[in-house]
Chain A
């Protein structure tokens, strides 16, 4: 059984179809990259999976369990039937955002402890220990825990955000262009952390413009164009010998 299944997903803004009947699945331990030009719908697709965006059709399954949804009116957006099931799904699918989205009014430590306390119900002591362990894992020193996120560099903030996601022991990690908001010299440190996670055989979905990174770490690459999967396959095939002319253009192969 696949870890994560996405089936027949459709999303539109007004009359504009941004995701057009997309289906794919991720096996346990698989790293899947979503690539495509800006506006191809890859971020929207990722955000539909944890219902930050509401699709109007489609199913999401985690370990075979379907997220129960219904639409309030015919053709309208889907909403979760059971708010608690949705919260449980979201915690199992931790997300890392392009702009970090750390809570600026609390220290790094509180950022890592808060979701553990209130989503997993861990006690304070266990949550702190987990937070410090994950900080060390993303290569940050413990002294950073007391500081406010905005006092840190972009690369450090994104690594804190990854640690925050890891603290929930998620089954699938969703990365939404995690290096796009970083200074070029900070990109490497974040990619390094992500490479280590991929090597641990974590299930990861990665929206990215970093083609060479996607080629190195992915088990499978999906190329999106106008909300549809236009090409998919192993990275060697997709990057080495792309068939879609639009993918060839995106990769600069003429």
Chain B
């Protein structure tokens, strides 16, 4: 066993951990901001709105994330028009491409999770809000959003953990997050076991922290859903 190599590479792992964490949090933040209005629109919108949003979520949930990432990072480069546009400095950056893929993919899953949370909101609660003369904005902010978020918290927690694990795909387009660091060590030192076990352990710690955070949030905000 060659644990010395791992210990010597602690700095690399640390920067990998930082990148993994950054990718996860940034993707979660942007996908959340995208998914909430999409879910509300899908729930309350007309047939055309619903069809467009369903088409988007079907596309991104029906294909592997790795394919989506490759299409964005490698595939788009094929189009001359795009290469010459003002977008290109952005789209040629692996970091931007990775975030774009993660955000679009995770937003698709989150939209469906939130929309399902809204669908489970009892009709009477919506009617009561209307019957008391609340405006649509107040109803959305104080009734629909909190009910939707608390009801979808367990499923959304799963999605957050899966997204965190999925950030390991960033290593395929040169980004040195945890998996990328481990892969590099295997190539440089011809050892396979130690680098990957270490990476796995780091992911496990991240997962447990995330799960702990989500459980805290559930106790704090979704306690009313617990059956006694």
| A binding-site residues for B, Cβ under 8 Å | 50, 52, 83, 86-91, 94-95, 97, 99-106, 114-115, 118-119, 148, 150-151, 164, 168
Contacts and interface: CB of A to CB of B under 8 A. Distances in A.
B134 to A, nearest CB: 6
Interface of B: 122, 124-125, 127-135, 138, 142-143, 146-147, 150, 221, 223-224, 228
Contacts of B129: 103
Contact of A105 (B124, B128, B135, B224): B224
15 contacts: A52-B130, A94-B132, A97-B128, A97-B131, A100-B124, A101-B122, A101-B127, A101-B128, A104-B224, A105-B224, A114-B142, A119-B133, A151-B224, A164-B132, A168-B132
A65 to B, nearest CB: 15
Given A105-B146, A106-B146, A150-B224, A89 B122 contact: no
Contacts, number: 69
A89 B133 contact: yes
A57 to B, nearest CB: 22
B131 A90 contact: yes
Contacts of B134: 87, 115, 118-119
A50 B131 contact: yes
Contacts of B147: 103-105
Tell which of B133, B135, B142 has the most Cβ of chain A within 10 Å. B133
B104 to A, nearest CB: 30
A95 B131 CA distance: 7
A180 to B, nearest CB: 13
Tell which of B127, B134, B224, B228 has the most Cβ of chain A within 10 Å. B224
Contact of B133 (A88, A99, A104, A148): A88
A52 B133 contact: no
Contacts of A101: 122, 124-125, 127-128
A196 B87 CA distance: 70
Given A90-B132, A105-B146, A119-B132, A151 B228 contact: yes
A87 B146 contact: no
Contacts of B221: 105
Tell which of A50, A99, A100, A101 has the most Cβ of chain B within 10 Å. A101
Nearest to A170: B132
B217 to A, nearest CB: 13
Contacts of B132: 90-91, 94-95, 115, 119, 164, 168
Given A89-B133, A94-B131, A102-B128, 17 more contacts: A52-B130, A86-B133, A87-B135, A88-B133, A91-B133, A95-B128, A95-B131, A99-B124, A101-B122, A102-B125, A103-B143, A104-B122, A104-B224, A105-B147, A105-B224, A118-B142, A148-B224
A103 B126 CA distance: 9
